[in-house]
């Protein structure tokens, strides 16, 4: 998987209710730094910080899906 895909996996998993270490477990013993950074951001105690991190990543997922829809290289 690419780093972007792994971050998207973490973001969507979080949206579906997965929390903590379970976010990274499917990515193997040494998850990529981007996925780890996102999981840490999503574990922040402040709700606003978590929301910002999640929103930024889900925006990237949306952009990638729109690029696929319109046939643009992503």
Length of the chain: 74
What is the pTM (predicted TM-score) of this model?
0.86
> Percent of the chain having pLDDT more than 90?
78
The answer to whether 28 touches 2, Cβ cutoff 8 Å, is no
How many structural domains comprise the chain?
1
Cβ neighbours for 9, distance < 8 A, ≥ 6 positions apart: 1, 26, 27, 35
CA dihedral for 48, 43, 14, 34, sign (positive or negative): positive
Tell me the residue range of the domain where 28 lies: 3-70
For 34-55, write each residue's pLDDT tens digit: 999 999 999 999 999 999 999 9
pLDDT of residue 2: 85
């Amino acid at each position: 998987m690419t780093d972007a895909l792994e971050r998207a996996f973490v973001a969507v998993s979080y949206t579906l209710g997965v929390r903590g270490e379970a976010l990274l477990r499917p990515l193997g013993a040494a998850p990529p730094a981007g996925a780890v950074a996102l999981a840490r951001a999503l574990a922040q105690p402040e709700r606003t910080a978590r929301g910002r991190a999640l929103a930024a990543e889900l925006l990237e997922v949306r952009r990638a899906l729109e690029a696929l829809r319109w046939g643009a290289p992503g």
